[in-house]
Copies of this chain bind each other. A is one copy, B any other.
Amino acid sequence: MNTIGTLLRLTLFGSSHGPGVGCVLDGVPAGLEIDEDDIQREVDLRRPAMSIGTPRAEADQVKVLAGVRDGFTTGAPVVVFIENRDTDSSKYERFRTVPRPGHADLTALNRYGETVDLRGGGQFSGRMTAPVVAAGAIAKVMLSTIGVQIAAYTQRLGRLVDEEERYLKEVRRASRENPVRAADPGLALEMVNEIMAAKEEGDSVGGAIRCLAVGLPMGVGEPFFDSLEGELAKMLFSIPGVKGVEFGSGFRSAEMRGSEHNDQFIVEDGEVRTITNHAGGILGGLSNGMPIDLRVAIKPTASISREQKSVDLERMEDTTIKVEGRHDPCIVPRAVIVVEAATALVLADMCLRGDFIAREHR
């Protein structure tokens, strides 16, 4: 359903072409200083970059409808609303009869029937992630009170991969300076070209996002089912287009030997830490004090302007479709801030659950 979280609970609402999209974030402690400009800045990072993004020009103006007063949280649920303004629904009626490959049209129709709202993807739209980013901005403020920082970047875009080990600070700075959210300026340029090339071919391209979180204390997470990996993965897989989630060495672990994979312990500056971080900062479902290191695979945008095979649901016969309309040839750059937000929301909830962030004013 549209609610997630245990003590920090996010409820999402709206649809791509309705009046707007928004969310309720319940469980935010009272007394937290919230700068609405900061929220807006995060949401702006999700907007499409000129030339490589969709021409849909949404201002994405964030309105805080509740839970914040005079710049501080009151303890009541925080509500964010973002109006939809630049909607063009003219092209979507047809997808009720001829569903787009790679989209939820067919499954949504099957499940919700005639009255389903398919315009712009309805409640399955990537636009639903705009309020997630706004909520994530608040979660980041919660996390900052205990020194936790999060940064993500585009690690792969089609065949281009960033193989370098990266540190949070450089990631944070660099990824905000180029439109593809790459950690390396040179690679960023190549990635832009890759997207442009796909676009020119009427095609789209996928990628992978890596997200780091540092400063998380040891012991965050809950055995057995509410492991940090499990909670993060559940949230991350709700982002439209995500097809894989891995932690630390992830799928490469499958090829490794234990002697290589085990992160051995040392004492450093009076603290126990590990020499490597193949575990991605998580052992037994709990944080181990090392950086959280996760990776998310994003499929190429389903909307492409090439002709594709589809079916006419009324006649039950084969046909073809060309998906015109406004769409991104690559959603990876825009998803970077969403992955950060999703990660922040889960970590903040798990920190509340483990008493690492105080719930109450006292």
Contact = CB atoms under 8 A, between A and B. Distances in A.
Say how many copies of this protein the assembly contains. 4
Given A253-B300, A257-B198, A258-B301, A4 B225 contact: yes
A1 B6 CA distance: 10
Given A253-B244, A258-B205, A272 B76 contact: no
A235 B231 CA distance: 9
A28 B285 CA distance: 18
Contact of A224 (B2, B115, B275, B358): B2
A333 interface: no
Interface string A277-302: 01110011111100000000111111
Contacts of A99: 265, 272
Given A238-B227, A243-B247, A274-B101, A261 B300 contact: yes
A347 B15 CA distance: 27
A171 interface: no
Given A24-B2, A224-B123, A31 B263 contact: no
A317 interface: yes
Which has the most chain B C-beta neighbours within 10 Å: A19, A106, A254, A316? Answer: A254
A253 B234 CA distance: 19
Contacts of A270: 316
A215 interface: no
Interface residues of A, number: 150
A122 interface: yes
A297 to B, nearest CB: 4
Contacts of A248: 243
Interface in A294-338: 297-304, 306, 308-311, 313, 316-318
Contacts of A258: 102, 198, 203-206, 299-304
A250 to B, nearest CB: 4
Interface of A: 1-4, 6-7, 9-15, 18-20, 22, 24, 26-27, 30-31, 65-67, 69-70, 72-77, 79, 81, 99, 101-104, 106-108, 110-117, 122-124, 128, 156-159, 198, 201-208, 218-219, 222-227, 229-231, 233-238, 240, 242-267, 270, 272, 274-275, 278-280, 283-288, 297-304, 306, 308-311, 313, 316-318, 353-355, 358-362
